[in-house]
Structure 1
């Protein structure tokens, strides 16, 4: 499967997650932004607007904007939430993660990758703990 066919989701469309989601949605056709309420409605209507000194102003329109329970199975999932929301997110996505799903935590906290591995129990989690320690 080529990269254009891959399904990518970003959970947590805040400062960091919004930037990642915006750049991904400009580059790939199958991007799902997980959002709810007024934020989700605004993205559906106007797209996600990024103001970047590096990339300029970007308006990204994702393929889908959904609450987490409607996300569906994905090839890549970026988790960009606050650490206190991690357990709830992992519980919500467990049935949507396959053995081939790659999960990328982009968040603060003590070893979010290891916590995701423990809480979800499948997929490949990319995190600092998967890297060799510096020598």
Structure 2
């Protein structure tokens, strides 16, 4: 199974690198500068699961894509989606499966409009990683998992065949029959963590230790969960209990990548992670949902964005 990974950054580079390490047929679609760095230094991963340097990883530039791939793993930032689509469109054939690991849900509409729902699977991953200034992928915690599944007309056992191809590469990979539910649940957790830690400029443990902090996080999560529920994907009790343990653990140093981006004066996914939740709350078929805390978070994030050059 020929796998094209879009980019070789913190997420795609990590999962693609582990697949390459396991002997899978992986190619990285990268820009010229990243291709030169990978040719010189290799794909370098530093991880609690084990460090690895993969010398001369297969790379391709967009203009050199000549034939379709079986699977395309897409993990760009949401604000780079249009550019990413233009770069890999030539690699999409009639049987290609695109697995996007982007935040939120808005990207599905964009990909469906371009490639059709039968080519665009649902996907979500759990990993904390970053690309350092030297181009090294820093995997920050032991967590490394993904799930994916069909959204359109099922194509036989395609999801299970992809699952078999991705398994055995040091991370958990599973085909899911409830992938949209899983995507909404991840969105609930991510938007809660990103919204709270970015607004307060603090890790979860510092927020919950402050007066009213735990109530703020609970209220924000409840608003976000109401949007998921209105879409028919209310978070399950087990999910809320498990992720609540992460959000409310005393002394937790957990933050979101959005806060790390803000601290680095970088672009953020305000519209995709928070703004789209507000849009869905406003357009709920049964009447607009009240999301005042989400609106405060969004105003804060857009004020930050307005200061970027």
- Structure 2 residue aligned with 1:50, among 45, 49, 54? 45
* d(CA) in 2 for partners of 1:62, 1:76: 21
- Structure 1 residue aligned with 2:116, among 118, 121, 133? 121
Task: Say whether residues 1:19 and 2:11 are aligned partners.
Answer: no
* d(CA) in 1 for partners of 2:28, 2:39: 10
Q: Which has the higher contact order (CA 8 A, sep 6+)?
A: 1
Q: Secondary structure at the match of 2:73?
A: strand
* d(CA) in 1 for partners of 2:57, 2:13: 15
**Matched residue count:** 129
Name the residue aligned to 2:83.
Answer: 88
**CA-to-aligned-CA distance 1:51-92 (integer Å, 9 cap, x gap):** 011x21012246521222323421110111111221222233
Larger Rg: 2
Name the residue aligned to 1:66.
Answer: 60
Please tell me whether the aligned partners of residues 122 and 180 of structure 2 are also in contact (alpha carbons under 8 angstroms): no
The structure carrying a bigger strand percent of its residues is 1
Please tell me whether the aligned partners of residues 39 and 57 of structure 2 are also in contact (alpha carbons under 8 angstroms): no
Shift of 1:124: 2.1
Q: Which runs of 5+ in 1 are unaligned?
A: 1-5
The structure carrying a bigger helix percent of its residues is 2
Q: Which runs of 5+ in 2 are unaligned?
A: 124-149, 152-178, 182-232, 235-309
- TM score, norm. by length of structure 2: 0.38
* d(CA) in 1 for partners of 2:29, 2:82: 16
